[in-house]
Amino acid sequence: LKTTKNHLRHVDSMSTLPSRAGKITGLNAVILGEALASEEDDLVFPNDEFVRQALVPSPKKYLEMYKRSIEDPAGFWSDVASQFYWKRRWAESVVSENFDVRNGSVKIEWFKGGITNICYNCLDRNVESGNADKIAIYWEPNEPGSQDSLTYSQLLQRVCQLANYLKDKGVRKGDAIVIYLPMLMELPIAMLACARIGAVHSVVFAGFSADSLAQRIVDCKPKVVITCNAVKRGSKVIPLKDIVDASLIESAKNGVSVDVCLTYENESAMKRESTKWQVGRDVWWQDVVPKYPTTCEVEWVDAEDPLFLLYTSGSTGKPKGVLHTTGGYMVYTATTFKYAFDYKPSDIYWCTADCGWITGHSYVTYGPMLNGATVVIFEGAPNYPDPGRSWDIVDKFKVTIFYTAPTLVRSLMRDGDEYVTRYSRKSLRVLGSVGEPINPSAWRWFFNVVGDSRCPISDTWWQTETGGFMITPLPGAWPQKPGSATFPFFGVQPVIVDEKGAEIEGECSGYLCVKSSWPGAFRTLYGDHERYETTYFKPFPGYYFSGDGCSRDKDGYYWLTGRVDDVINVSGHRIGTAEVESALVSHPQCAEAAVVGFEHEVKGQGIYAFVTLVDGVPYSEELRKSLILTVRNQIGAFAAPDKIHWAPGLPKTRSGKIMRRILRKIASRQLDELGDTSTLADPSVVEQLIELADR
Ligand code: WTA
């Protein structure tokens, strides 16, 4: 039994060694039979009814498809790609890659020479194939009680009007557009309009500060910035246009001026009369866009032409502009969406992520719409007017697939079951989780209380860089283990390596890497291919390095254990410690700062900042607040430190390097596990820090 069970974990190596493939088959009987269920392992089986209708109903089916995707990636992916519209089919080689820095510059190309358009595939293709009147978007505003919606043909018309407007303003293929919008229907409309005309969108999450927005504007020099005047989240009004105004002043100081700021009037949050205005630059969306024709010719692009930029935090330096191209991303997001959520045309799908993050790109906009899905978009906050709002929305739209982040699950769990159980939720059939490891207790609550023990949970591991799901359950295919992202998606070959970069087999822990490219992989960091290689391909030559730690259990299930670099994952948002430190030290009274993550009950990780003040400055509550405010202003509210720890000095080695290991232990109050402090330049620093721990 044991040997048979071990096979799944070898699936990727076996797939490259087809002669051993016969061994896989033994697994099916074992994994679906009683044997595993009666073991200590915490296995949660999908129910029979679900399995019967599942796209991938057994490990056998998965293994067949997975094996083919690894042994014959060109055949596998060109079959998938053929379901889309291509103006011209790609050239002979489906994929061409150099994944190994030792062999020269890293280069990834999929479907090169193929001519297509992702907006056409999301909209026109669905309209033409009988889905014109199907709802594409249900929109739920911040205030309960009303709603809006667009069918696929209405959405196409809206997109065309905006695309025509942008063209009229001189936007051409390859030009950048910055979008700074909350979750209005205009956000996916703007993304799709850019894609339609071959413009490259850079969506900036509307929780980023003016400084962060300016940084992104300066980096890609957009012709147009698209925003709205304000948004209401819960009972708070956030004047987004003021933030854009400030960022445009800042950008101009850095030599980048933007000609057009297209502003949507979000009337329920703020009237246009109260909005500050710069005549000549600022234009009301409602005044111009609806005047344009509702059809717009598509700009046909190469599969490898850029689709969008999305900035993400790394362990050092400024946020990196992750660049995704068109063809591979299209094929990959569509396919991962379909299989990981067991998508059926009758589904109503709601992903709570904001389009300002990758999840909103791949799994609010592109993946679902490529499948012709009905998507729910929610403007507001999940605890407004009370913590039952999510389930109210689920019942209202009869949501069948609900995809969210562990941080929301934990916070709703804390608010109590009554908020959930007072709603029916009987439409739900698949749940999803993303952004950070989901702890087993949150998993169980999500499964038992929200899903009434009926709905499989797709715990999807992936990254901004990967474009789409990499390790994820396929609901119905195999039993789940609460807290494990289970097995790799088609075409993905995860490997776990040790410090030296040697691949480890079987049951083990180490650094999570990927062996060769997949269609949705990012192609470069905008304007900095060298950093692309240094960050992702040089740490373990021959592999893509994810920055995550991971273990694989005896049954081959993958368990993500969090970032192994200096990136903190706060409520599923990646924040570089260096970014927070640099914001803190810009405060005139801060001499030095060191930031680490610590375990946080709701957010997963919180931000813990050790701050050394300029000589002679006394500690005070006021100063604490002002330091936090500095970070909010420079990055955004979501990056505000949870804790400021006064530090007369920081633990450094003799060569001046801060020993974060010790700081992490102090932050988590594991004071008896500080380890060897004798190599510090001044070991007494540690005593002082412990003394000041709760001050
Ligand atoms: C973490 C979000 C465990 C991980 C899609 C990764 C996860 C980072 C999971 C990427 C998951 C994401 N289980 N950890 N299911 N999903 N992560 O770029 O540390 O915002 O490296 O992409 O989130 O964050 P990003």
**From ligand 1's centre to the CA of 433, what distance in Å?**
10
Confirm whether 565 is a catalytic residue: yes
Task: Choose which residue among 208, 333, 352, 436 to substitute to test ligand 1 binding: the one with the highest number of ligand atoms within 8 A of its C-beta.
Answer: 436
Q: Is 560 in the pocket of ligand 1 (CB under 6 A)?
A: yes
CA 312 – CA 356 distance, rounded (Å): 11
pLDDT, position 118? 98
Instruction: Respond yes or no on whether the N-terminal peptide bond of residue 382 is cis (omega within 30° of 0).
Output: no
Distance 97 CA to ligand 1 centre (A): 25
Lookup: tokens for 350: 């709601």
pLDDT of residue 33: 35
CA of 9 to the centre of ligand 1 (A): 22
Please name the residues in contact with 330: beta carbons below 8 A apart, sequence gap of 6 or more.
84, 116, 118, 121, 366, 370
Ligand 1 atom 15: the closest Cα is on which residue?
461
Does the C-beta of 569 come closer than 6 Å to ligand 1?
yes
Q: Is the CB of 434 under 6 A from ligand 1?
A: yes
Beta strands in 384-502 (DSSP E): 401-404, 430-433, 457-459, 494-497
Determine which one of 565, 615, 672, 682 is catalytic: 565
State how far the Cα of 593 lies from the Cα of 585, in Å rounded to an integer: 6
Beta bridge partners of 312: 320
Q: How far is the CA of 681 from the centre of ligand 1 (A)?
A: 36
**Secondary structure (DSSP) of 236-253:** EEE-HHHHHHHHHHHHHH
**pLDDT score recorded for residue 436:** 95
Output the CA 547–ligand 1 centroid distance in Å.
Answer: 10
**Mean pLDDT in order along the chain per 10 residues (695 residues):** 34 30 28 36 91 96 97 97 98 94 97 98 98 98 97 98 98 98 98 98 97 97 98 96 98 98 97 96 98 98 98 89 98 98 98 98 98 98 96 98 97 97 98 96 97 97 98 96 97 97 96 97 97 97 97 95 94 95 97 96 96 96 98 96 96 92 95 89 94 88
Rounded to two decimals, the pTM is 0.93
- Using DSSP, state whether 110 is helix, strand or coil: strand
Question: Of all atoms in ligand 1, which is nearest to the CA of residue 465?
Answer: 18
Q: Whose CA is closest to atom 25 on ligand 1?
A: 463
Could you tell me if the ipTM is greater than 0.95? yes
Look up residue 208 and give its DSSP letter. B
From the alpha carbon of 312, which atom of ligand 1 is closest? Answer: 18
Tell me, in angstroms, the distance from the centre of ligand 1 to residue 25's CA. Answer: 32
Residues in contact with 195: Cβ distance below 8 Å, sequence separation at least 6, in sequence order: 117, 118, 119, 122, 201, 307, 308, 326
Q: Dihedral of the CA atoms 186, 223, 272, 212 (nearest 10)?
A: 80
Please state the atom number of ligand 1 nearest to the C-alpha of residue 547: 21
Give residue 695's pLDDT: 82
**Beta carbon of 359 within 6 Å of any ligand 1 atom:** yes
Ligand 1 atom 22, closest CA: 463
